[in-house]
A and B are shown apart, each in its own frame.
Chain A
Amino acid sequence: MIENLFAEIAKQNVSEDAWNWLEEKSALLNKDTNATQLNAAFTAVPRKMGKQIIEISAGQAKKIDTLLTGFSIQGWTTDRLARVWLLMNLKGTEKDDYIRKIENLFKAAEMNELVALYSSLPLLAYPEAWQFRCTEGIRSNIGIVLEAIMYENPYPSKYLDEPAWNQMVLKAFFTDKNVERITGLDKRANKRLASILFDYAHERWAAHRSVNPQLWRLVGKFIDENNFSDIQKLFNDGNPSEKKAAALALSESDFMPAKNLLNQTANLKNAIQEKTLSWNSLVKEMKNFSSN
């Protein structure tokens, strides 16, 4: 059970007093007819639990990923974990009541509370009830809120429809997010998104602005006669990272001219086949470059 695992992790990261407080509050949640206990406990969490970054073992991280694929609490703070754990302990037997209580938390939330609330989406009852809420969060311009939805959160890829999903991915590029941390990114690549991303790249080029090479990981399967020239241009005239990104995109395409183009560079093609060049290796390479 994931809530037991969260409890175990929370316990090892805070003092005994703090843990006892949280356990006590969580027990009160479901005895309450209105939301008073929930509101008070949810708000008071950082005062009692602190805000330090949690430590979790590799085994625990792996277990979380097994229980909920694509989910990670790496880098979370103690208040975030405690808030999410509180929400997991709220019983959802009365649907309307449950939804109203959580919606009210959203309405009066400060920044860190929003982060916890959006992080909890994949763990809440009635997952289909939070679709609109999730799209509202994507409209936010608060960086940490966007990241709570985008990074290692399996909710969007599982529950958003295609337009909303595409909107989120595009917003991630627009706001310079680490798109590779979006759960389900490659799996939910689609033709419509690829076409939007090509347009976006054109706009960036027209403005003499750079394009994140990770963008091309979402277009490979959709290369056709209409957009091939863009990939060609990237492959021939791009900087080294862009050239690698173009090669990776080409390697994912069944379009014959794309295959032929890739065949022109044996070294990149081999690197891809030997997996020394991948989208993830490209991310690492670029990070090393920018921190030097």
Chain B
Amino acid sequence: MNFMSHDPLKREKEVAESFISVDLQNIKGMQFFDPHVHMTSRTTDDYQSMADAGIVGLIEPAFWLGQPRTGIDTFRDYYSSLIGWERFRASQFGIKHYCTIGLNSREANNEKLAEEVMELLPLFIYKEGVVGVGEIGFDDQTPAEEKYYRLQLELAKEANLPVQIHTPHRDKKRGTQRSMDIAIELGLDPYMVIVDHNNEETVHEVLERGFWAAFTIYPFTKMGNERMVEIVKQYGTERIMVNSAADWGISDPLAVPKTASLMKLRGINDENIRMVTYQNAITAFGQSGQIDKADFTLVKEIDQSKKFAGNTILRGGQQPRIDKSSIIIS
């Protein structure tokens, strides 16, 4: 495009800036951390816009892939992709990728397979960059789900890792209570447990019992971000965090920065925004000992050095930018 600079570095910057929509200008320069997002289901365009919007790190919880797996090897390959390929893919866009590893509640109902997965888990939960056991918990609230939820809580306790709890869509309030009751019964410290997908009905009890309360900003089925603003106004920021849980459904990988932007418009101060869209998640999952904020800049610096060195791509190469406003593809 004519208005773009010919200097590739300058041009890069211009292209990057043109991606931040007008709505997000008010949070420009802020850093965000999305503690729940399923990048495996997302495109490179998402990674690019997330980086542009200020997301520096994220957590990808192990979850259900939309249909049940039929064998242990697909579980192994999935876990291995979370600590391998997906981690690399994120780094190409300057985003630090962490994950939580666990057997999700739906697939806990296939008991034969679940047994095998339980044997596999110790091989993965101690890996570098694994910041917790998750997402685990209840879906249908069956006895099998409870069994494997309990076993995985024990595992997390032994490994001294945080737990990321998925709370059910149906019969949510009871499911959430039950999840917390069991965690306490097994002797977990609520401060090591992040209860996810909260809403106005569950948040009070979760916070009162000392757990972390995560909110998923997800169109139609979970929280909207206007409701989120009200939650923060009412409950403050202690032990509260926001995530996108973006996956293969209609969801928004920019939910965290968009919510920050809306909070700013609605008069919440920068420090409080920082707590719920960045710091609290890092504090909670950082109890794994696996999050180092220095890595957020490192992952970017490495990529920058690749580009500055021109043909000398040191670490596999950051993805080059394409000019999306042009119809020319070269």
Q: Name A residues whose Cβ lies closer than 8 Å to a Cβ of B.
A: 39-40, 43-44, 46-47, 107-114, 141-144, 146-147, 175-178, 208, 212, 286-287, 289-291
Q: Name B residues whose Cβ lies closer than 8 Å to a Cβ of A.
A: 76, 79-80, 83-85, 87-88, 123-124, 126-129, 289, 308-313, 315-317, 330
Question: With a CB–CB cut-off of 8 A, which chain A residues contact B87?
Answer: 110-111
Query: Would you list the 8 A-B pairs with minimal beta carbon distance, nearest first?
Result: A143-B316, A290-B310, A110-B83, A142-B88, A176-B313, A108-B123, A43-B126, A110-B127
Task: Tell me if B312 and A108 are in contact (CB < 8 A).
Answer: no
Question: With a CB–CB cut-off of 8 A, which chain B residues contact A287?
Answer: 309, 312
Task: Tell me if B316 and A175 are in contact (CB < 8 A).
Answer: yes
Given A107-B80, A110-B84, verify A142-B316 contact (CB < 8 Å).
Answer: yes
Known pairs A110-B84, A290-B311, A291-B309; list 18 more (Cβ under 8 Å): A43-B126, A108-B80, A108-B127, A109-B83, A109-B84, A111-B83, A114-B84, A141-B88, A143-B313, A143-B316, A146-B316, A147-B315, A175-B313, A175-B317, A178-B312, A286-B311, A290-B309, A290-B310
Task: Tell me if A290 and B84 are in contact (CB < 8 A).
Answer: no
Question: With a CB–CB cut-off of 8 A, which chain A residues contact B128?
Answer: 43, 46-47, 110, 112-113
**Shortest CB distance B60–A (Å):** 13
Given A110-B84, A142-B88, A143-B88, verify A291-B310 contact (CB < 8 Å).
Answer: yes
Docked Cα-Cα span, A143 to B303, in Å, equals 12
**Shortest CB distance A284–B (Å):** 11
Task: Tell me if B313 and A142 are in contact (CB < 8 A).
Answer: no
Docked Cα-Cα span, A180 to B316, in Å, equals 16
Question: With a CB–CB cut-off of 8 A, which chain A residues contact B80?
Answer: 107-110
Task: Tell me if B311 and A176 are in contact (CB < 8 A).
Answer: yes
Docked Cα-Cα span, A39 to B126, in Å, equals 10
The 8 Å CB contact of B88, one of A39, A111, A147, A208, is A111
Docked Cα-Cα span, A44 to B289, in Å, equals 12
Total A-B contacts with CB atoms under 8 angstroms apart: 75
Question: With a CB–CB cut-off of 8 A, which chain B residues contact A39?
Answer: 123
Question: With a CB–CB cut-off of 8 A, which chain A residues contact B309?
Answer: 287, 290-291
Docked Cα-Cα span, A47 to B289, in Å, equals 9
Task: Tell me if B311 and A143 are in contact (CB < 8 A).
Answer: no
Docked Cα-Cα span, A107 to B313, in Å, equals 27
Question: With a CB–CB cut-off of 8 A, which chain A residues contact B84?
Answer: 109-111, 114, 142
**Shortest CB distance B304–A (Å):** 13
Question: With a CB–CB cut-off of 8 A, which chain B residues contact A141?
Answer: 85, 88
Given A111-B83, A111-B87, verify A40-B313 contact (CB < 8 Å).
Answer: no
Task: Tell me if B316 and A144 are in contact (CB < 8 A).
Answer: yes
**Shortest CB distance A272–B (Å):** 23
Q: Which residue of B lies closest to A51 (CB)?
A: B128
Would you list 18 pairs from A and B whose C-beta atoms are within 8 A, ordered by A residue?
A107-B76, A108-B76, A108-B79, A108-B80, A109-B83, A110-B83, A111-B87, A114-B84, A142-B84, A142-B316, A147-B315, A175-B317, A176-B317, A286-B311, A287-B312, A289-B310, A291-B310, A291-B312
Task: Tell me if B129 and A177 are in contact (CB < 8 A).
Answer: no
The 8 Å CB contact of B315, one of A144, A290, A291, is A144
**Shortest CB distance B33–A (Å):** 20
Question: With a CB–CB cut-off of 8 A, which chain A residues contact B312?
Answer: 178, 287, 290-291
The CB with the most chain A CB atoms within 10 A, among B76, B80, B87, B88, is that of B88
Question: With a CB–CB cut-off of 8 A, which chain A residues contact B126?
Answer: 40, 43-44
Q: Which residue of A lies closest to B295 (CB)?
A: A51
Question: With a CB–CB cut-off of 8 A, which chain B residues contact A147?
Answer: 315-316
**Shortest CB distance B118–A (Å):** 15
Docked Cα-Cα span, A178 to B317, in Å, equals 12
**Shortest CB distance A90–B (Å):** 17
**Shortest CB distance B159–A (Å):** 11
Docked Cα-Cα span, A113 to B84, in Å, equals 9
Question: With a CB–CB cut-off of 8 A, which chain B residues contact A143?
Answer: 88, 313, 315-317
Q: Which residue of A lies closest to B289 (CB)?
A: A47
Docked Cα-Cα span, A286 to B308, in Å, equals 13
**Shortest CB distance B286–A (Å):** 14
Q: Which residue of B lies closest to A107 (CB)?
A: B76
Docked Cα-Cα span, A147 to B76, in Å, equals 25
Q: Which residue of B lies closest to A108 (CB)?
A: B123
Docked Cα-Cα span, A141 to B89, in Å, equals 9
**Shortest CB distance B88–A (Å):** 4
Question: With a CB–CB cut-off of 8 A, which chain A residues contact B316?
Answer: 142-144, 146-147, 175
Docked Cα-Cα span, A286 to B123, in Å, equals 45
**Shortest CB distance A108–B (Å):** 5
Docked Cα-Cα span, A99 to B289, in Å, equals 32
Q: Which residue of B lies closest to A290 (CB)?
A: B310
The 8 Å CB contact of A212, one of B79, B85, B311, B330, is B311
**Shortest CB distance A223–B (Å):** 25
Question: With a CB–CB cut-off of 8 A, which chain B residues contact A110?
Answer: 80, 83-84, 87, 127-129
Task: Tell me if B127 and A43 are in contact (CB < 8 A).
Answer: yes
Docked Cα-Cα span, A263 to B147, in Å, equals 81
**Shortest CB distance B160–A (Å):** 12
Q: Which residue of B lies closest to A210 (CB)?
A: B311
Docked Cα-Cα span, A176 to B310, in Å, equals 10
Task: Tell me if B85 and A142 are in contact (CB < 8 A).
Answer: yes
Question: With a CB–CB cut-off of 8 A, which chain A residues contact B315?
Answer: 143-144, 147
**Shortest CB distance A193–B (Å):** 21
Docked Cα-Cα span, A39 to B127, in Å, equals 10
Docked Cα-Cα span, A185 to B254, in Å, equals 46
Docked Cα-Cα span, A286 to B312, in Å, equals 9
Question: With a CB–CB cut-off of 8 A, which chain B residues contact A40?
Answer: 126
Question: With a CB–CB cut-off of 8 A, which chain B residues contact A176?
Answer: 311, 313, 317
Question: With a CB–CB cut-off of 8 A, which chain B residues contact A113?
Answer: 127-128
Question: With a CB–CB cut-off of 8 A, which chain A residues contact B310?
Answer: 289-291
